[in-house]
Amino acid sequence: MLENILLGFSTSLTPENLLWCFIGVALGTVIGMLPGLGATTGVAILLPLTLSMEPVTALIMLAGIYYGCQYGGTIAAVLIATPGDANAVATVIDGYALARQGKAGKALAIAAIGSFVAAIISLILLVLVAAPIASFALRFGPAEMLAIMIMGMLTIISFSGDNLGKGLMMAGLGLALSTVGMSSGFAKARFTFGNVQLLGGIDFVVVMIGVFAVGEVISQVGTGGVQPIRTRMRDMVIRRQDIAESVPAILRGSTIGFRLGTLPGAGSTLAALVSYGMEKQVSPHRKLFGKGAIQGVAAAESANNAAANANFIPTLALGVPGGTTTAVLLGAFVMYGIQPGPLLFQNQPALVWGLLTSFFIGNVILLALNLPLAPVFAQALRLNYSYLYPAILFFSMIGAFAVENNIFALTVLFVAGVAGYFLKKYDFPTAPLILGLVLGPMVEKALVQTSSYANGDLSVIFTEPLALTILGIAVVIMLVPALMRRFSQVRQENLSTTGPLADGGEQIDGPGFESTTPGQAASLRNGPQ
């Protein structure tokens, strides 16, 4: 074991590999910041550039792009409410709320710390127990995946905020939109009405940019006079207490993220969403969730990063892609003339351990880069909004195009932006829409698989022990606390007739949610200049 790690470091610490690791991480951060360009696109786009490199070097750089992108996505999510991938939706909710309160630096710092801790934990697990974990992950068949998808669906409760009805409406719309186009489970495309563009479906990334970034911009323009956020340095820099209060969230997030990230296929897409959804139910700070809880950012980001690393377990140990980004990386292996598969650890020890140890180095670089830079990035918000929002629109539109190099995306973006504005205006939470859109195809796939697997009998989900366990965990964490609160609220209501939301009018509607008390709000805005 030790000699493997030493071998790894002797590979990853060569000046050349170190340099490319740094370039990968930095490039990834920049790509991740751009709307619409997530890790998968980033790696795929830059893959051809690496073909002339040594395989190890190339993979180190591509992996650097992967987790660099994750962090870059966080920056865009926090600062301008533009999630780069589905997981970042969870970061937007609290991260952007924090940014509006002038605490963007804090949000970015906790994201960097949470990501780092998660990366280190998941790396240690990866190094120690990759093989057993990989074979455990294989036990997740159709029924288990369906149970995980149901768990994902249950998080809609958390993302709906206080108005479950509106959340469900939006989730339903998201699910409906997700069925547009061709689906691998069925012979015929649906809801295309003869339009070829719709055969490709409605890309959730484009909708996400439309609803969050464009919708938010228009809301801000509509309310007018959005002032540059002025903050004191004290609010920008993270305090020890913030970190201490986030530790449980980071640990829980890392665990959930790691667990889901090891599953081949859809697991990692859900990591941050499930982690955020669950954290909101169990956290002692849960009332702050949606209004700027750093624990929300910590839970989402640590899960995201843990999942990214865990994704490499099936990829390296089995040769089976853990997620979409690692699928592209597997393709890269073949291009470099390396056969991925279970023998990779034996046949290419220098490559595998070099790559794994480079994760450690890359994450140290990310932390060293981003912790001091977090307040600097946050300065972007001091830019006058009259200049900032045209820039956001510029990059949102170019990014939406780049998702699939398709001009049709601009039309989708416009429609989503208009819809996003009105939905936000009337307090319809937008995160469940994205959740529905992201989960829809995965849920449907799991349904189709389970039904073909069990000859149409979906009740296997209750008879397969593992599936039942997952379902049980999901119900206990997601439903029980919510029901108990509802119950105690009803009692409270009967006693005091103060209305169902006497506990502070907890309200979450994603970005654009303005802060809670008039006094606090007044302190955020300094009046027109």
Residues 63-122 interacting with another protein (rule: CB under 8 A) = none
Residue closer to another protein (CB basis): 94 or 162: 162
> What's the CA gap between 226 and 230, in Å, rounded?
12
Which value, in Å, is the radius of gyration of the alpha carbons in the chain? 22
Q: Contacting another protein (CB under 8 A), which of 10, 16, 128, 222?
A: 222
Residue 154 near residue 475 (C-beta atoms within 8 A): yes
5 lies in the binding site for another protein (CB under 8 A): no
Q: Contacting another protein (CB under 8 A), which of 248, 331, 349, 481?
A: 331
Residue 301 near residue 91 (C-beta atoms within 8 A): yes
From the CB of 56, what's the least distance to another protein, in Å? 17
Q: Contacting another protein (CB under 8 A), which of 21, 79, 119, 226?
A: 226
From the CB of 51, what's the least distance to another protein, in Å? 9
Q: Binding to another protein (CB under 8 A): which residues in 20-49? A: 30-31, 34, 37, 41, 43-49
15 lies in the binding site for another protein (CB under 8 A): no
Q: Binding to another protein (CB under 8 A): which residues in 238-297? A: 264-265
Nearest 5 degrees, angle CA 400-CA 290-CA 99?
Answer: 65
> What's the CA gap between 85 and 88, in Å, rounded?
6
194 lies in the binding site for another protein (CB under 8 A): yes
496 lies in the binding site for another protein (CB under 8 A): no
From the CB of 453, what's the least distance to another protein, in Å? 5
> What's the CA gap between 44 and 326, in Å, rounded?
10
Q: Contacting another protein (CB under 8 A), which of 65, 171, 207, 435?
A: 171
Residue among 359, 352, 326, 356 at smallest CA distance from 338: 352
417-436 mask for another protein (x: CB under 8 A)? xx--xxx-xxxx-------x
Residue closer to another protein (CB basis): 298 or 344: 344
Q: Contacting another protein (CB under 8 A), which of 230, 484, 521, 523?
A: 521
How far CA 356 is from CA of 125, 240, 281, 313, in Å, comes to 11, 30, 34, 10
Sole window of 88-96, 109-117, 184-192, 228-236 interacting with another protein (rule: CB under 8 A): 184-192
Residue among 180, 215, 238 at smallest CA distance from 393: 215
Residue 315 near residue 59 (C-beta atoms within 8 A): no
Number of residues that bind another protein (CB under 8 A): 139
Q: Contacting another protein (CB under 8 A), which of 4, 14, 192, 379?
A: 192
196 lies in the binding site for another protein (CB under 8 A): yes
> What's the CA gap between 146 and 502, in Å, rounded?
37
From the CB of 498, what's the least distance to another protein, in Å? 6
Using CB atoms within 10 Å of the CB of residue 5, give its burial: 0 to 12 exposed, 13 to 18 middle, 19+ buried.
Answer: middle
Q: Contacting another protein (CB under 8 A), which of 7, 26, 131, 163?
A: 163
Q: Binding to another protein (CB under 8 A): which residues in 434-493? A: 436, 440, 443-445, 447-453, 455-456, 458
- What 3-state class would DSSP assign to 181? strand
Residue 430 near residue 218 (C-beta atoms within 8 A): no
- What 3-state class would DSSP assign to 454? coil
Which token pair is 425?
A: 């205006």
Residue closer to another protein (CB basis): 101 or 363: 101
Residue 373's DSSP bridge partners are: none
